[in-house]
Structure 1
Amino acid sequence: MGQVIVSLAAMFASLTLFIAGTSLLTTVVAVELGVDGLSTLQVGLVLGCHSVGFVIGSLFATRLVRRVGQVRSFAAFAAVACSASLIHPLFFDGALWAVLRVLVGFCAAGLIMVLESWISGRATHATRGALLGIYQVVFFFAAALGQYLVSLGETDDYPIYTIVAILIVMSLVPLALTRSEAPAPDTADRLRFRQLYALSPSGLLGGIAGGALVAGFSTLAPVYASDIGMSLAEVSRYMAFAVLATMAIQWPIGRLSDHFDRRLTVAAISTIATLAGIAAAVVGAHDLRVLYVATAPLFGLAACLYPISLSMVNDNMDRGDPISASAGLLLAYGVGTCIGPVAGAVFMQGLGPAGLFVFLAGVFAVYSLFVFWRGFTTPSVPVADQSRFVTIVAANTSPAILELDPRHELYMETPHIFDELHAGPAPGVEPAESSTNADRPGV
């Protein structure tokens, strides 16, 4: 185990530098757009372009990586992302910045895919879970580090964008100097949205809602904080707190979802988050203590929706590779990330800064009501039959990291079982009475 971690130290170092750089850039761009005269809707549209670029990159960047190799494609993506970050302070133009956000998002998808496929390619049966845990810690640490760096310079000055460029381009160094062999990236098969909905309507909509909530908060919260009078250093501390609170909340929520009815759990946490959003909308601008206390469950529980939704989908999978379901839900999450910044900006433009939390509370409330309704109209999966909860960061990640999901192990070890299930019983053999969830409607 130790040798595997040491061999991947360069990958984790590259991941830390890159996530810190892009996290810093997102907050800096959000604050600068908010104070430079653009309407809130325009700000949301520009910020949402990063998600659009990321989704496009996750769908098409694999072709470039396969054509020219891991290290060369990583270098190309890093060069473009570095250049795009340095163009920001040269020309302030909303349309140009929107294009730059698409470019950075596309390159981010390619860079993350290379790093994650490298990490997952070295995983074994014994190390898969540990590597996924290390990945989560590194990701959250890097994101929080990027937020703390926001206070190092003014958002309208060149030095802060130079720091972003340095972090992004330096992420190339550990990977370029590693002696380990680069694995070829796999093209992940995805279940279609209608297939995911048939498995679990609550899971599919939870994935979309999770993307909208996480992207809406992470892109617009700096704008909100700046609008209510926070200094740049205070914005930095607030965003870093939100990231660290999310990391702290993931594990206990996962444990709860494993020991109680999963739909009841997700409905309960959505209700709690709704109340937190209302508190932040009403009092947050006037009392920072309330804002911080409300942010922890609000953003933390939003980040829990994707892994819980993924668990609900897996609860109802009786056959097939769970990675295809994970990849499909990750795409649904990506669709949500494109919606969140724009929808949140619409609420902020109509209701003022507090509109962000009204939007977040509204999404949680609608999803909670939907899950409660599903709970009354369809039977639940027994707790004993639920799949294991696995914490997976969906923000700025690619299907490559899904290979570390321990639920993939059964398929990897006994794929013939799934092939037989797909093929059906042999001719002349009566199918055995099943104890699976095949006849139960998706949760």
Structure 2
Amino acid sequence: MFSSLASVLSLMLSTLLMMVGFGLASYVLPVRSVAEGWSTLTISVIATGYTLGFTLSCIVTPKFVLRVGHVRVFTALVTLLSIAILLCGLVVDWRAWILFRAISGFAISGSYLVIESWLNEKVTNENRGALFSLYLITTMLGTIGGQYLVPLGDPTNGSLFILCGVIFSAALLPTALSSSPLPAPPAQAKFDLPGLYRRSPVAVVGAFLAGAMSGAWLNLGGVFTQKVGMSTAEGATLLASLLFGSALSQIPIGRTSDRIDRRIVMVGCGIVGVISCLTMVAFIGASPTVLYIIAAFVGSVLFPIYALNVAHANDLARPNEYVEVSSGMMITYGIGTISGPLMVGPVMDRFGPGALFLVLAVYFALYAAYAAWRIAQREQHDGLVGKTDFHANTVPQPGTEAVNAMNMAPRPETLIDDDTAPNGGT
């Protein structure tokens, strides 16, 4: 795993800086929105622009990668992130912010897709969960660092928006100056959501629910901290606590899912999520320290569940299908992020800020219930030892060389026909 990590070190550093900017933007924008007196519903509508851009990018970005390659696309997307946040500081109008946030969503989604398909080239099924966990830890730490920059400035003027643009620009340097071998452009770019669902329903449904939960939290978590009367520093600590819990749990969850049926881990994460969210609602008036601890438990499963779904979907893919799987999973995740803020925003306006965690608890319950139902319908078959529903050559074998995630040419080894697979997949 260490040799795989060394080969993408510059990419990880660019990701870290990009996520520092993302963390700063994701907190300063809702704080500024509340300061402007915009309602939670209005803020949710702004968030819809972000999620629509996010989803559109899942369709469009692979085509750009096909034409010009990873590095150029990544550079263009991070540049768009810088432009969008600077425009938010320049034009403070919620209608304009819908467009600016759509640009941000397009750029961050495309960046994730490029990064994840790039990483998939360097892994096997044996270490996929662990390496993706390290990648997600990098994103969490960067986001936490960015959120703690907010108390150092004034969200009501343009200084933090300018700082965010500078950080995004700095994120271009490590990858642009790297001498590491770069992935080749794909031979074609496509996605097949129906086929992805037939192969692994639990991965697709789980990605949708993960998107709904993360979309609600990322866009309205900052609003929650303001509505319950937290200071900017206390709000940053709450958001950081949730991400810190996520960072701590990434490797244990990833390694556990590499060794047992990933769907069992999904059920466990869903149960922890339900209990943690309901506990947050019960203690919403408690001291900030108590809320920080509970938020860490919520975070321990809120973000890692998407990595579980991505790993499960890739377990069932051929090497030349990784970009197709990543694109399909990101589209599904993006559709989920659209529903999250739209569902939670009006409920928070009607029932108060605690309704955010009530809705999250419902989503977690659905996540666990569906994974449990799929376990009852079909035995595991993700290619690990003892999982016999697929032939021995249906997935990259442990110990093989890193596969080219963007090479879409077919190879002789194929998955078993969906028509012969009981219930069509997991």
Question: TM-score with structure 2 length normalisation?
Answer: 0.82
1:145 corresponds in structure 2 to 145
1:397 corresponds in structure 2 to none
Q: CA deviation at 1:372?
A: 4.1
1:354 corresponds in structure 2 to 354
Aligned pairs (5 A) from 1:150-189: 150-180=150-180, 182-186=182-186, 187-189=188-190
Question: What amino acid is aligned across from residue 296 of structure 1 in structure 2?
Answer: A
Q: CA deviation at 1:92?
A: 1.7
Distance (whole Å) between structure 2 residues aligned to residue 169 and residue 85 of structure 1? 12
1:211 corresponds in structure 2 to 211
Q: CA deviation at 1:405?
A: 11
Is this contact kept in 2: 1:238–1:292, CA < 8 A?
yes
Deviations 1:303-325 (Å, cap 9, x if unpaired)?
2322333455567x497866244
Q: CA deviation at 1:177?
A: 3.2
Is this contact kept in 1: 2:246–2:301, CA < 8 A?
yes
Q: Secondary structure at the match of 2:414?
A: helix
Q: CA deviation at 1:125?
A: 7.0
1:399 corresponds in structure 2 to none
Q: Cα gap change, 1:9/1:255 in structure 2, threshold over 3 Å: closer, same or farther? A: closer
Question: What amino acid is aligned across from residue 190 of structure 1 in structure 2?
Answer: F
1:417 aligns with 2:413: yes
Report which stretch shifted further, 202-211 or 73-82: 73-82
2:391 corresponds in structure 1 to none
Question: What amino acid is aligned across from residue 381 of structure 1 in structure 2?
Answer: Q
Question: What amino acid is aligned across from residue 422 of structure 2 in structure 1?
Answer: D
1:56 corresponds in structure 2 to 56
1:381 corresponds in structure 2 to 380
Q: Cα gap change, 1:321/1:272 in structure 2, threshold over 3 Å: closer, same or farther? A: same
Deviations 1:344-384 (Å, cap 9, x if unpaired)?
212211211011001101111233334444455x2433895
Q: Cα gap change, 1:412/1:11 in structure 2, threshold over 3 Å: closer, same or farther? A: closer
1:21 corresponds in structure 2 to 21
Distance (whole Å) between structure 1 residues aligned to residue 159 and residue 134 of structure 2? 32
Aligned-residue RMSD, C-alpha: 3.8
Q: CA deviation at 1:339?
A: 1.6
Question: What amino acid is aligned across from residue 150 of structure 1 in structure 2?
Answer: V
Q: Cα gap change, 1:405/1:286 in structure 2, threshold over 3 Å: closer, same or farther? A: farther
1:439 aligns with 2:422: yes
Distance (whole Å) between structure 2 residues aligned to residue 80 and residue 318 of structure 1? 32
Question: What amino acid is aligned across from residue 411 of structure 2 in structure 1?
Answer: P
Deviations 1:13-52 (Å, cap 9, x if unpaired)?
3222111112210111122213322121111121232222
Is this contact kept in 1: 2:49–2:101, CA < 8 A?
yes
Higher-Rg member (1/2) = 1
Is this contact kept in 1: 2:209–2:336, CA < 8 A?
yes
Query: What is the percentage of aligned positions where both structures have the same residue?
Result: 27
Q: CA deviation at 1:330?
A: 2.9
Distance (whole Å) between structure 1 residues aligned to residue 386 and residue 266 of structure 2? 17
Aligned pairs (5 A) from 1:275-424: 275-313=275-313, 317=316, 323=322, 324-376=324-376, 378-381=377-380, 385-386=386-387, 415-418=411-414
Q: Secondary structure at the match of 1:301?
A: helix
Question: What amino acid is aligned across from residue 251 of structure 1 in structure 2?
Answer: I
Q: Cα gap change, 1:407/1:35 in structure 2, threshold over 3 Å: closer, same or farther? A: farther
Distance (whole Å) between structure 1 residues aligned to residue 258 and residue 402 of structure 2? 19
2:106 corresponds in structure 1 to 106
Q: CA deviation at 1:165?
A: 0.7
Deviations 1:60-100 (Å, cap 9, x if unpaired)?
13444554565554444344332221222232211101100
2:46 corresponds in structure 1 to 46
Question: TM-score with structure 1 length normalisation?
Answer: 0.79
Distance (whole Å) between structure 2 residues aligned to residue 156 and residue 240 of structure 1? 22
Is this contact kept in 2: 1:188–1:327, CA < 8 A?
no
Question: What amino acid is aligned across from residue 297 of structure 2 in structure 1?
Answer: P
- Structure 2: gaps spanning 5 or more residues: 389-395
Q: Cα gap change, 1:386/1:238 in structure 2, threshold over 3 Å: closer, same or farther? A: farther
2:392 corresponds in structure 1 to none
1:191 corresponds in structure 2 to 192
Report which stretch shifted further, 251-260 or 30-39: 251-260
Deviations 1:120-163 (Å, cap 9, x if unpaired)?
66x37799758656533432221221122222212111111111
1:82 corresponds in structure 2 to 82
Distance (whole Å) between structure 1 residues aligned to residue 73 and residue 269 of structure 2? 41
1:202 aligns with 2:202: yes
1:245 corresponds in structure 2 to 245
1:272 corresponds in structure 2 to 272
Q: Cα gap change, 1:407/1:91 in structure 2, threshold over 3 Å: closer, same or farther? A: farther
Q: Cα gap change, 1:438/1:143 in structure 2, threshold over 3 Å: closer, same or farther? A: same
Q: Cα gap change, 1:314/1:439 in structure 2, threshold over 3 Å: closer, same or farther? A: farther
Q: Secondary structure at the match of 2:99?
A: helix
Q: Cα gap change, 1:308/1:181 in structure 2, threshold over 3 Å: closer, same or farther? A: closer
Distance (whole Å) between structure 1 residues aligned to residue 33 and residue 317 of structure 2? 48
1:392 corresponds in structure 2 to none
Q: How many residues align?
A: 411
Q: CA deviation at 1:268?
A: 3.4
Q: Secondary structure at the match of 1:286?
A: coil
Is this contact kept in 1: 2:52–2:105, CA < 8 A?
yes
Distance (whole Å) between structure 2 residues aligned to residue 410 and residue 440 of structure 1? 31
Question: What amino acid is aligned across from residue 94 of structure 2 in structure 1?
Answer: G
Q: Secondary structure at the match of 2:146?
A: helix
Is this contact kept in 1: 2:242–2:298, CA < 8 A?
no
Q: Cα gap change, 1:268/1:62 in structure 2, threshold over 3 Å: closer, same or farther? A: closer
Report which stretch shifted further, 145-154 or 91-100: 145-154
Q: Cα gap change, 1:222/1:199 in structure 2, threshold over 3 Å: closer, same or farther? A: same
Report which stretch shifted further, 254-263 or 327-336: 254-263
Q: Secondary structure at the match of 1:418?
A: coil
Distance (whole Å) between structure 2 residues aligned to residue 116 and residue 34 of structure 1? 34
